[in-house]
Structure 1
Amino acid sequence: MTQILHKSVALNHGTGLHRTHIGAWRVDDDCWGFRVWAPKRQRVRVAFLSTEKTRQVAEVVPLDAEADGYFYGLADSARVGTLYGYLLDDDERLYPDPASRFQPEGPHGPSQLVDATSFEWTDENWPGVKLVGQVIYEMHVGTFTHEGTWSAAARQLEELASLGVTLIEMMPVADFPGRFGWGYDGVNLFAPTRLYGTPDDLRRFNDQAHAAGIGVILDVVYNHFGPDGNFLPAFADHYYSDRHATDWGPAINFDGEGCQAVREYVLANAAYWIDEFHFDGLRLDATQDIHDDSTPHIISELS
């Protein structure tokens, strides 16, 4: 087990690296930016769905090709909560965003626009945590309470504090298919699972945990991707290693052809959880299967 704790993530968000801008983000009140890595595609369009139950495509915006297989564009007609997806070449299927911030209908459904800047945090005086001397409670949110949600779990924080718990290790929350799961076969690495609530529910949990004097670290899986609901191969052929394997399938490609964008994807994900959700650190699952023969090792970059 590897645990990486930060007061704040040590990445320079002013460098313009792709890791800081993949997925969809709010540029201003009337504009959203989109960037996706799709090197196997010649044409990528972002499609917005109507609010009707029929979920018809209401608008399509073409993205411009950038260097290294990325596509980028701006759209001024989308709003917070708008459902969207990507149209790839002439394929009529709507694919979820590989860096989707929320999948309200699960991995097989459309992605949803989320504004991470609208949440009002109250933990500005939280000092952070150190690994040494902590009383750690490992929490599976889905089974911790009868409701199985972040909101319900937050109501138990004071009781956990009274028991002497100083740090919660939250088991993986990246979205996965079905109604139940341990979380270790996540396929939407940036999307907190809809089974436990909304992204803001998770933010509120962490904010309230800090108010109760409890730190929160997140269990993340960077050794493999889950098989069901995984649409990454539709965008690129380089997410999986052709030289390493794990007990759960192909390893993630950190050292082969096209690995730089994959590394940026994972680095962006680590920064995302700490920056946008105020997690105090990360616990890396099964580091023996995070294979990387290059220098620096991806774990070194993460730390």
Structure 2
Amino acid sequence: MLYSTRETRQVQRRYPIGAELIGPDQAHFRVWAPKAQRVDLVLEGSAAKTPGQTFQGLEAEENGYFSGAAKAGAGDRYRFRVNNNFYPDPASRFQPDGPHGLSCIVDPARFQWSDSQWPGPAAAGLKGQVIYEMHIGTFTKEGTWRAASQQLEELARIGITVIEMMPVADFPGRFGWGYDGVDLFAPSHLYGTPDDLRAFVDRAHSLGLGVILDVVYNHFGPDGNYLGAFSDDYLTRGNENEWGDSINFDDRNSGPVREFFVTNGCYWVEEFHFDGFRFDALHAIRDRSSEYIIGEVARAARKAAGE
């Protein structure tokens, strides 16, 4: 995907939203914020030009998007200033201090995968698969991806063929089942780093284990959800499900909302090598579009997987 900067330089991005590295110590940021008159990128710590913070205004695009490039690298932390208030990136790839903290730039290319020959569980057919539902926080005493990966050989030995990982999108607090996630692109900091998750999947594949991810596309958790500061159109008011207002997949400004979720599905497949998804509570997803949102996510994810 190509995007233009103020300097009329075109930038190649993998995904339409979030922070992505585009060169040595150079990152590009893009966010959908139709509610904002102005969006500033706030670089913190080592990424700041001076001790403390560096502010840089993002360029307004069409349809409520803001974007811009800045001198920053992997591990640098940032947030956005929207209408004079500070918020993490809605498409943050990592929240080291949780949903209320700063967002962190991640370099997905730094991890060295070894699963290029993995055919995927579908190669053996769905019939006869033995699925183990795993909650990372309670599977081991440590409650981390690193600790869980050390137990994968035993799961393979007893005949498990596929791991269904319960939701890992970051959520506030110390404990949770994962069904009130608020940062859908950020693997929970409670379980380790994004590369720890990659290493878990890579290890599973080396043992012949498939890994599918449980995703929640029917609601956002109530605490740590800052999407309303960027747009009022993520949710459809007056069309509630059992957790609150429904996500807006078919009403005004639903295009960028759909893009958010379709991108999310592709992201988990491409950057973490998940083999598939378990979609939570589809009955709670309201969508009268010509293509049901889950169908669109699945189609895009299959394409991302090379099918």
Alpha-carbon distance between aligned partners in 2 of 1:268 and 1:187, rounded to the nearest angstrom: 16
The percentage of counterpart residues that share the same residue type is 57
Does residue 128 (structure 1) correspond to residue 120 (structure 2)? The answer is: yes
Alpha-carbon distance between aligned partners in 2 of 1:210 and 1:199, rounded to the nearest angstrom: 17
Does residue 274 (structure 1) correspond to residue 269 (structure 2)? The answer is: yes
Label 1:267 to 1:73 Cα distance change in 2 as closer, same or farther (>3 A).
Answer: same
Partner-residue secondary structure (3-state), 1:20: coil
Whether the 8 Å contact between 1:46 and 1:86 is mirrored in structure 2 is yes
Alpha-carbon distance between aligned partners in 2 of 1:225 and 1:134, rounded to the nearest angstrom: 31
Partner-residue secondary structure (3-state), 1:94: strand
Alpha-carbon distance between aligned partners in 2 of 1:35 and 1:57, rounded to the nearest angstrom: 22
Partner of 2:135: 140
Whether the 8 Å contact between 1:144 and 1:153 is mirrored in structure 2 is yes
Q: Which runs of 5+ in 1 are unaligned?
A: 1-12
Alpha-carbon distance between aligned partners in 2 of 1:29 and 1:134, rounded to the nearest angstrom: 44
Letter in 2 for 1:87: R
Partner-residue secondary structure (3-state), 1:272: helix
Partner of 2:231: 236
Label 1:31 to 1:19 Cα distance change in 2 as closer, same or farther (>3 A).
Answer: closer
Structure 1 residue 251, shift from structure 2 partner: 1.0
> 89, 93, 100: which one pairs with 1:97?
89
Q: Aligned runs of 1:115-264 on 2, under 5 Å?
A: 115-130=107-122, 131-264=126-259
Letter in 1 for 2:86: L
Does residue 106 (structure 1) correspond to residue 106 (structure 2)? The answer is: no
Letter in 1 for 2:264: N
Q: Which runs of 5+ in 2 are unaligned?
A: 4-10, 299-307
With 65-74 and 16-25 compared, the bigger mean Cα shift is at 16-25
- Compare relative contact order (CA 8 Å, sep 6+) and give the higher one, 1 or 2: 1
With 41-50 and 16-25 compared, the bigger mean Cα shift is at 16-25
Whether the 8 Å contact between 2:13 and 2:20 is mirrored in structure 1 is no
- Aligned CA RMSD, in angstroms, stands at 2.0
Alpha-carbon distance between aligned partners in 2 of 1:35 and 1:120, rounded to the nearest angstrom: 26
Alpha-carbon distance between aligned partners in 2 of 1:18 and 1:113, rounded to the nearest angstrom: 14
Alpha-carbon distance between aligned partners in 2 of 1:285 and 1:235, rounded to the nearest angstrom: 25
Label 1:286 to 1:96 Cα distance change in 2 as closer, same or farther (>3 A).
Answer: same
Letter in 2 for 1:218: L
Alpha-carbon distance between aligned partners in 2 of 1:19 and 1:133, rounded to the nearest angstrom: 36
Alpha-carbon distance between aligned partners in 1 of 2:128 and 2:56, rounded to the nearest angstrom: 52
Deviation above 3 Å: which 4+ runs of structure 1?
13-19
With 251-260 and 238-247 compared, the bigger mean Cα shift is at 238-247
Deviations 1:161-219 (A, max 9, x none): 00100000000000000000000000000000000000000000000000010000000
Q: With structure 2 as the length reference, what TM-score do the two structures score?
A: 0.89
Deviations 1:254-295 (A, max 9, x none): 001110000000000000000000000111000111110111
Letter in 1 for 2:211: V
Q: With structure 1 as the length reference, what TM-score do the two structures score?
A: 0.91
Partner-residue secondary structure (3-state), 2:87: coil
Label 1:56 to 1:292 Cα distance change in 2 as closer, same or farther (>3 A).
Answer: farther
Letter in 2 for 1:166: T
Partner-residue secondary structure (3-state), 1:169: strand
Aligned length: 286
Letter in 2 for 1:150: W
With 124-133 and 151-160 compared, the bigger mean Cα shift is at 124-133
Letter in 1 for 2:23: D
Does residue 294 (structure 1) correspond to residue 286 (structure 2)? The answer is: no
